[in-house]
Structure 1
Amino acid sequence: MKVFILGISGAIGTLLADKLTARGIEVRGLVRTAVQQADLAARGVETTLGELSTMSAPELAEALTGSDAIVYTAGSNGGTREVTKAIDGDGVVKALEAARLAKVNRFLLVSVLPESWRERDNPEEVEYYFAVKKQADIAVTRSDLDWVILRPSLLLDDPAVGTISLGPAEAHGEIVRADVAETLAELLHEPRIRRQILELNTGTTPIREAVRANVNKD
């Protein structure tokens, strides 16, 4: 398997890259700087220099060519509207088109639980972020790709737990990024999970078992 990670220099993307390379999987990704490129090269990951927000779909497709799966972990983390639109919105649409051009059918998107932070009085930028993420989810579900959308709850940087709760609808709690990355790795190895939206929260089920429990039996 050859996996291309968009957002490979981010927290989840880096963790996922390490987990996949440890399994002997060829990992590639897109980075913005030569420093990021050198760091990932030292870890056995080939990267392409480029800016997701300014690349055209054909340019991105050239980087994606030869991959078996794409994992989109890039995100603005609720920054300015301009960055949110470019990365969380337009970037996903561009990646879908690039995947089609590159003939890469498997597409995994890391999204967000719609209920996140609803107990707070959110600023307009945060509400805009959730609206853009929702539109990106819709774009993915309307594509003809073999897609999976993973919606994790509040992300933490604590050590991996190794157990989760995963399903079509989950309560909004918290989840460590290492467990999100491990869940993505397992999803990549479970082709029977396709065209599904899965929500992810902390739980008591081992990750591999939780993933297999969501295989569509139809």
Structure 2
Amino acid sequence: MRIVIAGGHGKIALRLERLLADRGDTPVGLIRNPDHAEDVRAAGAEPVVIDLENTTATQLTEKVMGADAVVFAAGAGPGSGADRKSTVDRGAARLLADAASLAGVRRYIMVSAIGVDDGPAPGSEPVWAAYVEAKRAADDDLRQRSLETDWTILRPGRLTEDPGTGSVRLAPKVERAEIPREDVAAVVVALLDEPATVGHVLEVVGGTTPIADAVQAAGS
């Protein structure tokens, strides 16, 4: 499969690209900074330079044409302000959905964040609140595209750099906990292989159920 990954130099994206390449798929990493191209190649993916904050749906469509699926794993990142939470975490996610639709790519997996439907807690730090609101808006937009998009929304708990365990807890609602980025990437791969998870919003944290079994159960 040819899988286009927005945010192709991110920590989850690079792990995802390696997993896909190792099993014989063709991952494509969309990156803003051309200096990141070698890292993407080293992960086994094809780097494509495009600034998702400064492009059009038509231009992005050219980059996703011919893909079997797209994955939104981009984010404004730590240190960015509230404005970029809106333009990346919300705006770029919507733009990718528009482009996928124009290109005829139905499968879309969104990497979101646990608990965003609850909104930011009262008194939250303003940038964090903007991030939560941006993720919620992007998820809401995707959920309204069911006629044109076979979407799955994955909402990980707090991300860590720990080695993956290969086991998770995956359900529409789980208690907040940590999860290694490596396991999040592995769950995305399994979701790509499980069409029964289309239309599902799933939260994921570390757990004891093997990833393949957890994804199969989530789609049943």
CA–CA distance in structure 1, aligned partners of residues 139 and 119 of structure 2: 18
Question: What is residue 107 of structure 2 aligned with on the other side?
Answer: 106
Q: How does 1:138-217 map to 2 (within 5 A)?
A: 138-143=140-145, 144-216=148-220
Superposed displacement of residue 37, structure 1: 1.4
CA–CA distance in structure 2, aligned partners of residues 146 and 30 of structure 1: 21
Shift in CA distance, 119/136, structure 1 to aligned 2, threshold 3 Å: closer
CA–CA distance in structure 2, aligned partners of residues 121 and 204 of structure 1: 34
CA–CA distance in structure 2, aligned partners of residues 197 and 107 of structure 1: 12
User: What is the DSSP-based 3-state SS (H/G/I as helix, E as strand, rest coil) of the residue aligned with 2:218?
Assistant: coil
User: What is the DSSP-based 3-state SS (H/G/I as helix, E as strand, rest coil) of the residue aligned with 1:59?
Assistant: helix
Question: What is residue 67 of structure 1 aligned with on the other side?
Answer: 67
CA–CA distance in structure 1, aligned partners of residues 87 and 121 of structure 2: 27
Shift in CA distance, 117/93, structure 1 to aligned 2, threshold 3 Å: closer
Given that 2:90 and 2:134 are in contact with CA atoms closer than 8 Å, whether structure 1 keeps it comes out as yes
User: What is the DSSP-based 3-state SS (H/G/I as helix, E as strand, rest coil) of the residue aligned with 1:213?
Assistant: helix
CA–CA distance in structure 1, aligned partners of residues 174 and 159 of structure 2: 15
Superposed displacement of residue 120, structure 1: 9.1
Shift in CA distance, 119/86, structure 1 to aligned 2, threshold 3 Å: closer
Q: Find out whether 1:14 has 2:21 as its counterpart.
A: no
Given that 2:20 and 2:26 are in contact with CA atoms closer than 8 Å, whether structure 1 keeps it comes out as yes
CA–CA distance in structure 1, aligned partners of residues 138 and 119 of structure 2: 19
CA–CA distance in structure 1, aligned partners of residues 60 and 203 of structure 2: 28
Equivalenced residue count is 216
State percent identity of aligned pairs. Answer: 33
User: What is the DSSP-based 3-state SS (H/G/I as helix, E as strand, rest coil) of the residue aligned with 2:219?
Assistant: coil
- 1:30-62 deviations in Å (ceiling 9; x for gaps): 112222113322443212111111011110010
- Greater CA deviation, 32-41 or 130-139? 32-41
Give the TM-score normalised by structure 2: 0.93
- Greater CA deviation, 38-47 or 179-188? 38-47
Superposed displacement of residue 125, structure 1: 1.2
Structure 2 stretches lacking a partner, 5+ long? none
Shift in CA distance, 149/105, structure 1 to aligned 2, threshold 3 Å: same
Q: Find out whether 1:129 has 2:143 as its counterpart.
A: no
Report runs of 4+ in structure 1 exceeding 4 Å deviation: 115-121
CA–CA distance in structure 2, aligned partners of residues 86 and 46 of structure 1: 24
User: What is the DSSP-based 3-state SS (H/G/I as helix, E as strand, rest coil) of the residue aligned with 2:93?
Assistant: helix
